Chain A
């Protein structure tokens, strides 16, 4: 081999929302933002593995349906009764992967790195629910969709993970190839609010 990989400049990661987010206007009633890259791991497993996985991750995995736990900037989202998304913004997945695998050795489980499968979008502002409800059929009142709730659902024809962090702050996790579609429809939905 004539040259080695380490001699070249490190490659830069790309975000499919880069161009759209850069061209986005500021609308006070609903702000849109492309979220920073994150480490994302899907953890699935039997009862015995759930506790140790949460301990190794530093956030207990929520057992209540459609809820997330958070600690120290890390998030554990309930996706299904044996399925969680572990998310840490601006972090590398590899060390987390290793730590959780070490804690669950021999316990039936599956851990898969999906850091680049999806990207995050923040929808925030007084009219956030109004904008989301143009493509999502859930009741987004605080009584029905409280802070701390998360669920996979749909936005128009795309599947999303919808998370409520505050009364007016939602995060969407969207598979990368669907992200521009979701973003453009969010932009369309807030046109009347500009």
Chain B
């Protein structure tokens, strides 16, 4: 197909750069500078989609981001597919492939269009009213069917291979919108030396100036002024120009989110370039120059392909050199219709007639239309259109005071409509600014500001090119002035009105502020006439009237009931007409009805943009210990503990070369530790160095234990409570010197514990001379555990007496291991003789390997966290967060012995004194032994006395830890059970879906209850 609807000349397309693209499998040609929409129009294609609910054929309605119909899928390949792109914003490149959506089997013949015939049965609230019974059918039947029918495009299922990046950027003045107001604002701010960012969603900066053919500014044609202004701005170091960049969200304290489409318009995206970039702009001052959106007129069959917004028809002709048709009818409520009529006539389109809703038609533009011989009909409405996949005629009728006369059918291939302009207050509303109804402008305009922001030009109801330019300049100047004295993001008051300080002479057609809101009269059977208000969600004026008849009064309720304005276009074309219809139906003035809130994003935004670089391995910090790579080289399986990767077990090849499963590996590792010696990477434990003359006093206040008498060189197990008396964390603490403690915390609790300590130290006891420093990552920790532990490390250590007498259980000594300084702990989390070797992390792996080599003659066995869990459970050692859940007191967890009874105060002590905290029926830590030793309970399983008791069966507690113990040859479990200690020796039941498991309540220490093995 050739560009049959191209104008002979003109427009901003590059006619020397033709290119070809495909739409629904058919090849078309266009030019560099075309959008997909303008190129299709130049080829005479208007049918671009099927509607959401009724599957009605739909054409292009607008030329901008407000387009509700022309949603297409653009795919470079199967993974690089983007659904729901507005064809009006897709730039054509050589080889572009686009597909229409929401149709099957084809756009011209769509099976779903039966919905349109059924439409009398699909009123607003249809789903709420219909799919009510039978009760179970919603989940099984209705919802899946409706979900399959609903929705627009289809997201690709392959991972997105492209990159998305995010940049934080700061500026003095952010100008949103590069039309005349935005350009003038940016110019003014830039001249004052402010750091300026000017962004615009379109490929070219210029806004409405890009569609001007006759306007002049400062004595030059608008296009020349635009080029000169952009060159001036581009030449300034303090200005950043961002085309193809949508300001889609306005967040608190002047954080504005911009989506830049970096490579979407390129036939071959540059290597390394992100597909899109999120600019998180923090601006001292913001100037919103978002312009105004043309309103459609709501009349029957206004959704037929070939019915467009009038000013969009003008943009296609003037900017893209594309004629929307050959014979155009114009339906207008303002002078914009005449401007379009004149420009299209100049472009070679026949203007059949202009139907003007107004009785009085006067002014310069109508006069020029009459002079040009155009058939102008005042007090006239369109009451319908005909045509299957494209409008072929329009029905005209006289309308006075709501009375509609006889109809006259006039053949045409295009209808252009204009109900006037609505200021685009989306971003202002997102910033939580208050909108105020302006009767003279017939629009909601920005009122009181909340953020440091000001609007300029037609988005605040200022019209007329010269006034817009001067307003933009004044607002830009004022913004730069305010930014220069910026101290904080708090808005002192609404900005003083900026008065134009510069004259920018300009001449252009003046449209005034006339317009129409609501549905135009048509005199047809209201049950059969479909006059669309919201094209994207298929909402008609009839639906809105039905909602008001059914009692909905609040505009927020009408919106949700009918879904008007709730589609991805955020009601850009529909909101005001909805208001008008509700206002008329309820006989209530528009400002009394209110306006729904605009929410981000202004236009749909990709998930990739929000994700940015945070995907795959860098979605979250993946923390590895210094010893991690050694474990990985040995084939260890890992588990995630917080952000840490920890070795879970070390499988070995068994008989026949088969790798052990976790069960086999853990059984082997457990036996090795109990029989000889194992080694374990405990580096992830949190560590805090507490130093200062008041260190012991601070420890006394933070932990339940008594610390004053702990001698330097000794270790103690410490329990930390929250102020509410529940166990928060635990860990072994070493006293390195009278004023220095080496505190360990749980792996996951490290940051929380340090913050908790800092909180008390800074805000409650700032008088204490003590300071906290995190040393978690300073030290690698190698646990060597088992009867042979001493023999393994002895040859490597210097400067420490390792004898039983010189270095008993729960001591800390400083010395060296292979020349590396170490803090050596004699400590055990296994119940065996054990040591924890702390070495500076740079030496973690080297020391680990040396210990491993030294242990080879004892068969030293590296073990992972699963074995560690089994070994400690055999000993009844709790894990905070596994046995405890934030509601366990020390006594509940069998840690009552660790509470310093003589201490006057510590964090949590007062709460422990409450009667409920020592009630005998609190859940207490116990052991469980299944009657059948082979059965391993499920962690989390509930515990009851009698599973056959009437529902609800009283719950006595739950299983917290459960393992098979290879050493004991049976299963073991820990549990929290109501009044558990008093139940020791009794039987309880653990109900499962198919049967109940009998268990005996026992002491929670299964192995070496006297602790003889600790001392080796």
Contact = CB atoms under 8 A, between A and B. Distances in A.
Contacts of B842: 13-15, 37, 116
A130 B167 contact: yes
A16 B614 CA distance: 21
- Which 9 A-B pairs give the minimum distances between C-beta atoms? A13-B842, A110-B691, A110-B771, A177-B623, A44-B771, A108-B769, A11-B846, A139-B170, A116-B840
A184 B795 contact: no
B820 A11 contact: yes
A14 B626 contact: yes
Contacts of B272: 191-194
B165 interface: yes
Interface in A80-121: 82-83, 108-118
B724 interface: no
Interface string A179-192: 01100110011011
28 contacts: A5-B796, A5-B816, A6-B798, A11-B820, A11-B847, A13-B842, A14-B842, A14-B846, A15-B842, A44-B771, A83-B771, A112-B773, A112-B775, A116-B842, A117-B778, A117-B841, A134-B168, A137-B168, A137-B282, A138-B168, A141-B170, A177-B623, A177-B624, A180-B622, A184-B617, A192-B270, A192-B272, A192-B273
Nearest to A115: B840
Contacts of A180: 622, 624
A37 to B, nearest CB: 7
B738 to A, nearest CB: 13
A136 interface: yes
Contact of B841 (A10, A109, A112, A116): A116
B771 A16 contact: no
Nearest to B778: A117
A115 B843 CA distance: 12
A2 interface: yes
Interface of B: 163, 165-170, 195, 270, 272-274, 280, 282, 612-614, 617-618, 620-626, 644, 689, 691-693, 769-771, 773-779, 794-798, 816-820, 840-847, 850
Nearest to B170: A139
B623 A134 contact: no
Contacts of B623: 177-178, 181
Contacts of A46: 769
Nearest to B620: A157
Contact of A11 (B168, B691, B774, B818): B818
Given A139-B282, A175-B777, A1 B794 contact: yes
Given A5-B817, A82-B771, A157-B621, 15 more contacts: A4-B798, A5-B816, A6-B798, A16-B626, A108-B692, A112-B773, A114-B775, A117-B775, A117-B778, A134-B166, A134-B613, A180-B624, A181-B621, A189-B165, A189-B613
B907 to A, nearest CB: 21
A83 B774 CA distance: 13
A4 B796 CA distance: 7
Contacts of B613: 134-135, 156, 185, 188-189
A71 interface: no
A158 B619 CA distance: 11
A178 B778 contact: no
Given A5-B817, A110-B773, A133-B168, A177 B644 contact: yes
B620 A5 contact: no
Most chain B CB within 10 A, of A5, A130, A139, A192, is at A5
Nearest to B818: A5
Interface residues of A, number: 59
A56 interface: no
A177 B693 contact: no
Nearest to B841: A116
A64 interface: no
Contacts of B626: 14, 16, 176
Contacts of B771: 44-45, 82-83, 109-110
A139 B770 CA distance: 34
A10 B621 contact: no
A52 to B, nearest CB: 16
A184 B614 CA distance: 11
A163 B771 CA distance: 24
Contacts of A37: 842
A29 B644 CA distance: 33
Interface in A1-42: 1-6, 8, 10-16, 37, 42
Nearest to B849: A11
Contacts of A115: 778, 840
A175 B776 CA distance: 9
Nearest to B166: A134
B975 to A, nearest CB: 35
A61 B170 CA distance: 31
A118 B622 CA distance: 15
A76 B31 CA distance: 61
A118 B850 CA distance: 24
A4 B166 CA distance: 55
Interface in A112-150: 112-118, 130, 133-139, 141, 144
Given A11-B847, A116-B842, A177 B777 contact: yes
A157 B691 CA distance: 29
A144 B816 CA distance: 46
Given A13-B842, A45-B771, A191-B272, A181 B169 contact: no
A12 B846 contact: yes
B777 A117 contact: yes
B818 A8 contact: yes
Given A188-B613, A189-B165, A5 B845 contact: no
Given A12-B846, A178-B623, A185-B613, A1 B165 contact: no
Interface string A40-54: 001011100000000
A13 B843 contact: yes
Contacts of B841: 116-117, 176
Contact of B795 (A3, A110, A188): A3
A136 B623 CA distance: 20
A185 B165 CA distance: 10
A5 B165 contact: no
Nearest to A42: B773
A6 B819 contact: yes
A143 B622 CA distance: 35
Contacts of B618: 156, 181, 184-185, 188
A16 to B, nearest CB: 7
Nearest to B614: A156
B625 A191 contact: no
Contacts of A118: 777
B170 A134 contact: no
A144 B817 contact: no
A112 B816 contact: no
A181 B166 CA distance: 17
Nearest to A46: B769
Given A11-B850, A191-B272, A178 B693 contact: no
Contacts of B282: 137, 139
Contact of A133 (B169, B195, B798, B843): B169
B819 A112 contact: no
Contacts of A191: 163, 272
B644 A109 contact: no
Contacts of B846: 11-14
Contacts of B840: 13, 115-116
B167 A10 contact: no
Nearest to B687: A117
A39 to B, nearest CB: 11
A45 B692 CA distance: 9
A137 B774 CA distance: 25
